[in-house]
């Protein structure tokens, strides 16, 4: 009795909503993304803290030269396992302009835990000027803002190739299999040993790409672990109470027979 409307509901749900996600996939890339088995995938998904910390190191030493993380504060780093003292040291390496002070002057000071991540450029114009007219996007949300999510970012980082013959390349552009239109302004950044990991992990280019992608998945969805664990509990509760309601319903309706 329950099953027919329920099936209908679910069929309706998928029939109506699937085209949406299909087009997004179809529109952005004709080439299959490299699918990775991310630890944060799935219902019980969790971040690998060590990987996130390595990813943060990659971000600080490589990506942050051009890309900002403007939605994050330094205090958020507690979420990937840094202690307050460590975060203070990290923040202290950056300077921000504050003020005006009581004399009416702007001044620079060391960044504090409560400050947002300091971006690489003062404004968009400077960013474009320094990058051949291309604007290096802010990375806070990049994993959520691209179809394919983490797999796309990982593929992109591993997707640099030489230009195929007869490809009309723009000045200062690079060929990337996964980038829409295949021409990307960002030069390939990742190579073996471009960073040295504190935990002794070998810094192969694949490892670096994996760690930075994990880190960016975290910056896009810092609530992911809490969301998924709350979700499991909520679903457990809802399934339990629904089974009980099914019993109650059957008992009450028996009166009518």
Would you tell me which residues interact with other proteins (CB under 8 A)? 1-2, 4-6, 8-10, 12-13, 15-17, 19-24, 27-28, 43, 71-72, 76, 137, 140-141, 144-147, 149, 180, 220, 222-223, 227-228, 230-232, 234-235, 238-239, 241-242, 245-246, 248-249, 252-253, 256
- Cβ of residue 167: shortest distance to other proteins, in angstroms? 20
Place of tokens 């019980």: 44
- Cβ of residue 20: shortest distance to other proteins, in angstroms? 4
- Cβ of residue 245: shortest distance to other proteins, in angstroms? 4
Is-contact 214 52, C-beta < 8 A?
A: yes
Helix, strand, coil share of the chain (percent; to 5): 45, 5, 45
* Closer residue to other proteins in complex, CB, 58/143: 143
Residue 211 tokens, joined = 């760690």
* Closer residue to other proteins in complex, CB, 71/88: 71
| 255 phi-psi bin (left φ>0, alpha ψ -120 to 50, beta other) | alpha
* Closer residue to other proteins in complex, CB, 120/222: 222
Place of tokens 């490809």: 167
CB count within 10 Å of CB 63 equals 21
- Cβ of residue 43: shortest distance to other proteins, in angstroms? 6
* Closer residue to other proteins in complex, CB, 76/211: 76
* Closer residue to other proteins in complex, CB, 155/207: 155
- Closest Cα to residue 219, out of 112, 118, 138? 138
Is-contact 231 43, C-beta < 8 A?
A: yes
């Amino acid at each position: 009795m329950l099953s027919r409307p329920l099936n209908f509901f679910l069929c309706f749900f998928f029939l109506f909503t699937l085209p949406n996600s299909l087009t997004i996939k179809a529109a952005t890339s004709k080439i299959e993304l490299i699918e990775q088995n991310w630890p944060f995938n799935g219902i019980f998904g969790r971040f690998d803290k060590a990987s996130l910390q390595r990813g943060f190191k990659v971000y600080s030493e490589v990506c942050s030269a051009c890309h900002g993380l403007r939605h994050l504060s330094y205090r958020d780093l507690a979420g990937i396992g840094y202690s307050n003292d460590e975060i203070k040291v990290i923040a202290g390496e950056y300077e921000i302009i504050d003020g005006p002070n009581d004399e009416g002057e702007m001044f620079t000071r060391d960044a504090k835990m409560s400050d947002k991540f300091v971006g690489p450029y003062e404004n968009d114009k400077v960013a474009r000027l320094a990058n051949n007219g291309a604007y290096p996007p802010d990375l806070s949300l990049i994993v959520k803002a691209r179809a394919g999510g983490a797999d796309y970012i990982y593929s992109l980082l591993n997707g640099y190739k030489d230009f195929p013959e007869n490809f009309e390349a723009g000045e200062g552009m690079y060929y990337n299999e996964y980038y829409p239109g295949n021409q990307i302004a960002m030069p390939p950044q990742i190579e073996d040993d471009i960073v040295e990991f504190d935990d002794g992990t070998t810094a192969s280019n694949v490892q670096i790409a994996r760690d930075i992608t994990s880190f960016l998945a975290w910056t896009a969805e810092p609530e992911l672990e809490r969301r998924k664990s709350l979700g499991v509990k909520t679903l457990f509760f809802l399934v339990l109470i629904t089974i009980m309601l099914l019993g109650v319903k059957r008992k009450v309706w028996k009166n009518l027979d």
